[in-house]
Amino acid sequence: MGKITVDQSQQVMATLAINTNWEEIDFEGSALQDLVIRNPKEAGLQFTAFLKNGGRITVANFPTFRTIKLGTLEDIKAIHKAITNAGGRISDWANDIMGKKEFVVAKKEIEVELVVASVAELGFKDGAKYSAICERAKNLGLDLCPAEVGPQLRLQYTDQPKGEWLRIAMESIADSDGRLRVFDVARGGDELWLYGDLGHPGNFWYAIDLFVFVRRK
């Protein structure tokens, strides 16, 4: 009772196919084509979960990494000074994109809940392009970080373990040479660094690479 028949399943699939706006789907960027062709079983399992959830996206249960505050300092200069006064280091590329108009400081103090996920935990066991990583995270109920998260996390994450390297999933900012970049928050030895890493949509990241997202409210 309640089981779907073969005929009903074909009708459901036909209805979905007809009503899907295929022009809005980036098969290559989202790695959907690779998933369906190379791992149809996994694609089927994900679609089954979608149907079992009443046609709603299943939000992954990622634990909270930490909650930080944005808008605690009035401008870029104040953030830069606070990091360096606390003993933090800022790379040239990080400093460069902090000076771009796309880098915006929150006008009032707000809290954001951060989540850390590896590329593998997002479902890409063999790694993935940055565009696919961001798209998958959004589908799992996570959002990209405001750019301010990078410097603020560096400022507020003073107990970062040695060797940890966190990439901030955000809208990339073009540096002075036109290359798209995102922030990294890393600790090498005893130095706490804010770096500027490559953020081109086609940039490939390995399964073990860690990204920071904002939990969607």
User: Are 86 and 31 part of one and the same domain?
Assistant: no
Residue 26 has what pLDDT?
63
CA quadruple 26, 104, 210, 179: dihedral positive or negative? positive
- Please tell me whether residues 92 and 183 are part of one structural domain: yes
Percent of the chain clearing pLDDT 70 (strictly above): 82
What would the 3-class secondary structure string for 132-155 be?
HHHHHHHHCCEECECCCHHHHHHH
| pLDDT at residue 1 in the model | 45
Q: Verify that 18 and 96 share a domain, yes or no.
A: no
Kindly give the confidence (pLDDT) of every residue in the chain, 217 residues in length, as a single tens digit, with 9 standing for 90 and above: 467 787 777 777 777 778 777 776 766 655 566 556 655 655 665 676 566 555 655 556 789 999 999 999 999 999 999 999 999 999 999 999 999 999 999 999 999 999 999 999 999 999 999 999 999 999 998 999 999 999 999 999 999 999 999 999 999 999 999 999 999 999 988 899 999 999 999 999 999 999 999 999 8
| Cβ-proximal residues to 80 (8 Å cutoff; 6+ apart), any chain | 90, 95, 98, 151
On whether both 116 and 184 belong to a single domain, the answer is yes
> What does the pLDDT look like over 50-61, one tens digit per residue?
665 556 555 567
CA distances for 98 relative to 47, 90, 191, 194, 217, angstroms: 40, 10, 20, 11, 26
Q: What is the pLDDT of residue 5?
A: 81
153 occurs within a structural domain? yes
117 domain residue, yes or no: yes
User: Residue 200 domain-assigned?
Assistant: yes
Is position 57 within any domain? no
Phi, psi of 71 (to 5 degrees): 75, 15
> Per the domain annotation, does 115 fall within a domain?
yes
For 62-78, what is each residue's pLDDT tens digit?
899 999 999 999 999 99
Alpha helices (H) in 20-74, listed in sequence order: 32-38, 40-52
Do residues 134 and 184 share a domain? yes
105 lies in the same domain as 195? yes
Task: Tell me, yes or no, whether 58 lies in a domain.
Answer: no
pTM above 0.95, yes or no: no
Give SS3 for 71. coil
How many separate domains does the chain show? 2
pLDDT at 180: 98
Q: Which amino acid is located at 3 in the chain?
A: K
Residue 27 and residue 76 share a domain: no
Q: Are residues 118 and 195 in the same domain?
A: yes
Whether 34 maps to a domain, the answer reads yes
Structure tokens at 159: 């107990």
Count of residues in the chain:
217
Give the residue from 81, 105, 92, 104 showing the smallest Cα distance to 176.
92
Same domain (yes/no): 145, 203? yes
The range of the structural domain enclosing residue 16 comes to 6-52
Is residue 14 domain-shared with residue 107, that is, in the same domain? Answer: no
What would the two tokens of residue 99 be? 């000076």
Based on the fold, state whether residues 209 and 186 are members of the same structural domain. yes
Q: Are residues 144 and 197 in the same domain?
A: yes
In a domain, 188, yes or no: yes
**Inter-CA distances, 139 with 98, 136, 145, 198, Å:** 28, 5, 15, 23
